[in-house]
Structure 1
Amino acid sequence: MDALAGLLEGPRARGAFMIRACFEPPWSLRIEDRAPLTVMLMIRGESWITPDRGEPVLLRAGDLAIARGPDPYTCADDPATPPIAVILPGQECTYPDGRSMRGHMDLGVRTWGQRLDGSMVMLIGTYPVQGEVSGRLLDALPPVLTLTSDVWECPLTPLLMEEIVRDEPGQEVVLDRLLDLLVIAALRAWFSRPEAEAPAWYRALADPVVGRVLRLVQDDPAHPWTVASLATKAGVSRAALARRFSELVGEPPMTYLTGWRLALAADRLRDTGDTLEAIARQVGYGSAFALSSAFKRVYGVSPQEHRTRAARPAVGVAF
């Protein structure tokens, strides 16, 4: 697994929310849905994205923004325009005074807003649930990142525009995969930019010693690694590895390994039907009991509780 593949492995949409928004100024939407990740692709017109903590960002046609939750933000024709709607968890939509807007702005299949010929058209894709490995990805992102059309060109825009308004069997799966591809393409472009602030462990992959250790751990988490065995593989002493690893990554090698193993276990609990015993072996724990104890200590819930919560269906859209 190369470094970027490991970082981007997180986006795996399941019944993700996707919609085409069409508005005519003045308009403003207050987003309080607490979604971990939302992608906004401008098709026509302009939009300001204003996080509660940070400066407003202007999007023009062809630009893309990714908002990292759960902090709220506002999308508007102008930062000064007051909201006409509030988007809450489960994509419930209300007027600013709390009254439901259910169905009041429906414009057709996965299309919402004021008018189909509005001067602003934006495609929006939202991941409603955060996976544990993708937590490392979210930690690597700013509250709002943008890619302008002069630094990248989205190859998926025509296909997304065509597929988002289709209403055919299996359409949600098609849109889920397209959203994943859009996010991965955008993040790959973002991490190649000089302004991207990658996490410490990602930057440390460039180090000849620590980078080798990180790749060993990421590629084979089930191996019974010790600081001594990792140091031998890296060709340095235990003390040198421990010191250099902590300096570059921000935590000791075994602490990083534990976090990586538990993150992988959390993903497998959510995404597979494997037994806890099987998952324990896959991520480097000697027994289901050992994994369960470590998991509860770090996440505050048992593996079974985590699996049950992840299996709960998402709240329905209430536009």
Structure 2
Amino acid sequence: MDALAGLLDGPRARGAFLLRSVLSPPWSLRIEDRAPLTLMAVLEGTAWVVPEDGSATRLRPRDVAVVRGPRPYTVADGPATPPHAVIGPGQRCTTLAGAPLADLSDLGVRTWGTDSDGTTVLLTGTYQVPDAVGRRLLDALPRLVVLPEDAWSSPIVPLLAEEVGKQLPGQEAVLDRLLDLLLIAVLRAWFARPEADAPAWYRAHGDPVVGRALRLLHREPARPWTVAALAAEAGVSRAALARRFTALVGEPPMAYLTAWRLTLAADLLRESDAPLDAVARRVGYGSGFALSAAFKRERGISPQRYRAGGPPHARGARAERDDAVPA
């Protein structure tokens, strides 16, 4: 498992919200759904994404944007168009005063908007449940990433646009997987660009020694790793691995392993009802007690409270990057 696969390898999109919007100006939607991650592709026309406290960014035909939540933002035909609708949790659409909205209507399967001849057509896919496995990668993203059409080449957007209007057996599973593929393709293209400022641990995957060590830790987190054992697998001395790993990743190998194990544990706690001891064994801890002590030390909350719906973020997580980054 590499860094990007880790984003979606655990709780992937399940019943993700997908919608085609057909809109005629003037239109402006304030998004307050608190979703952790949303993808938007412009199929026709143009749109502007306006963060609550950032610069407006224009999306042209066939551009794709990734918006990291949960802060509100606005999508509109122009940066100065005032919102006339609010999209809240559960994708509930209302007026600014909270009343049911009458001027946006159902236009077909997973399609809605002002009228069927609208000049702007948007495709939106929303991950509605936070993915703990992807926390490191999500934390590396700014609030808005825009990938222009000429920055990448992929058939996924047209395919997703075609499939979103179908109502066939297993269609939700098809759409979920296509959304996953689109997210991976967009992030892979974006992280490959020098201006993306990819995190150190992501760039380190390209190093022949540290990259191999990272893949081993991701693939076998429950193995009783030591720096010496990891160095032997990577084909270098213990001192060389420790020095090179820390320089490229920004933390020692065992500190990275601890964070990765606790990230996996957080995912298992939320996505299964497995006993704490079983979760501990799957991520490399000898007992539920040992996992509980490490989890609480690093995240400031016990596994039991976290499973019951406590805050998902580790204590001391880095501040959000709020800049928009056109890729």
TM-score (norm 1): 0.86
Residues 141 and 197 in structure 1, CA contact (< 8 A), matched pair in contact too: no
Q: Which amino acid aligns with 2:80?
A: A
Whole-angstrom CA distance in 1 between matches of 2:21 and 2:207: 45
Q: 1:8 to 1:198 in 2, by over 3 A?
A: farther
1:219 matched residue in structure 2: 219
Q: CA deviation at 1:231?
A: 4.3
Whole-angstrom CA distance in 2 between matches of 1:274 and 1:242: 34
1:145 matched residue in structure 2: 145
1:290 matched residue in structure 2: 290
Aligned: 1:236 with 2:237: yes
Bigger Cα displacement from structure 2, 26-35 vs 3-12: 3-12
Residues 11 and 183 in structure 1, CA contact (< 8 A), matched pair in contact too: no
Residues 200 and 250 in structure 1, CA contact (< 8 A), matched pair in contact too: yes
Q: 1:9 to 1:199 in 2, by over 3 A?
A: farther
Cα deviation 1:108-134 (Å, max 9, x = unaligned): 332222112100010101011111111
Whole-angstrom CA distance in 1 between matches of 2:133 and 2:295: 14
2:127 matched residue in structure 1: 127
Aligned: 1:16 with 2:16: yes
Aligned: 1:105 with 2:99: no
1:89 matched residue in structure 2: 89
| Deviation beyond 6 Å, 4+ runs, structure 1 | none
Q: CA deviation at 1:241?
A: 4.4
Q: CA deviation at 1:207?
A: 3.7
1:40 matched residue in structure 2: 40
Whole-angstrom CA distance in 2 between matches of 1:40 and 1:13: 15
Q: Which amino acid aligns with 1:99?
A: G
Q: CA deviation at 1:137?
A: 1.6
Whole-angstrom CA distance in 2 between matches of 1:124 and 1:301: 34
Q: CA deviation at 1:209?
A: 4.3
TM-score (norm 2): 0.84
Q: How many residues align?
A: 308
Residues 226 and 254 in structure 1, CA contact (< 8 A), matched pair in contact too: yes
Q: CA deviation at 1:273?
A: 5.1
Secondary structure of the residue aligned to 2:206 is: coil
Unpaired runs of 5+ residues, structure 1, are 311-319
Bigger Cα displacement from structure 2, 131-140 vs 242-251: 242-251
Residues 103 and 114 in structure 2, CA contact (< 8 A), matched pair in contact too: no
Residues 11 and 184 in structure 1, CA contact (< 8 A), matched pair in contact too: no
Q: CA deviation at 1:274?
A: 4.0
Residues 11 and 267 in structure 2, CA contact (< 8 A), matched pair in contact too: no
Secondary structure of the residue aligned to 1:195 is: helix
Q: 1:280 to 1:160 in 2, by over 3 A?
A: same
Q: CA deviation at 1:237?
A: 4.3
Secondary structure of the residue aligned to 2:130 is: coil
2:276 matched residue in structure 1: 276
Whole-angstrom CA distance in 2 between matches of 1:179 and 1:204: 27
Q: CA deviation at 1:159?
A: 3.0
Secondary structure of the residue aligned to 1:112 is: strand
Whole-angstrom CA distance in 2 between matches of 1:161 and 1:210: 39
Whole-angstrom CA distance in 2 between matches of 1:169 and 1:262: 37
Residues 205 and 211 in structure 1, CA contact (< 8 A), matched pair in contact too: yes
Whole-angstrom CA distance in 2 between matches of 1:249 and 1:307: 29
Secondary structure of the residue aligned to 1:150 is: helix
Cα deviation 1:71-92 (Å, max 9, x = unaligned): 2221111101111112222222
**Structural mapping, 1:151-170, within 5 Å:** 151-170=151-170
Q: CA deviation at 1:42?
A: 0.8
Whole-angstrom CA distance in 1 between matches of 2:171 and 2:273: 24
Residues 10 and 137 in structure 1, CA contact (< 8 A), matched pair in contact too: no
Secondary structure of the residue aligned to 1:133 is: helix
1:315 matched residue in structure 2: none
1:259 matched residue in structure 2: 259
Secondary structure of the residue aligned to 2:160 is: helix
Whole-angstrom CA distance in 2 between matches of 1:4 and 1:161: 24
Aligned: 1:114 with 2:114: yes
Whole-angstrom CA distance in 1 between matches of 2:29 and 2:152: 27
Whole-angstrom CA distance in 1 between matches of 2:16 and 2:257: 31
Cα deviation 1:130-151 (Å, max 9, x = unaligned): 1111111212222111122222
Cα deviation 1:280-318 (Å, max 9, x = unaligned): 2221111122122322333344434444549xxxxxxxx
1:59 matched residue in structure 2: 59
Whole-angstrom CA distance in 2 between matches of 1:170 and 1:301: 38
Secondary structure of the residue aligned to 1:74 is: strand
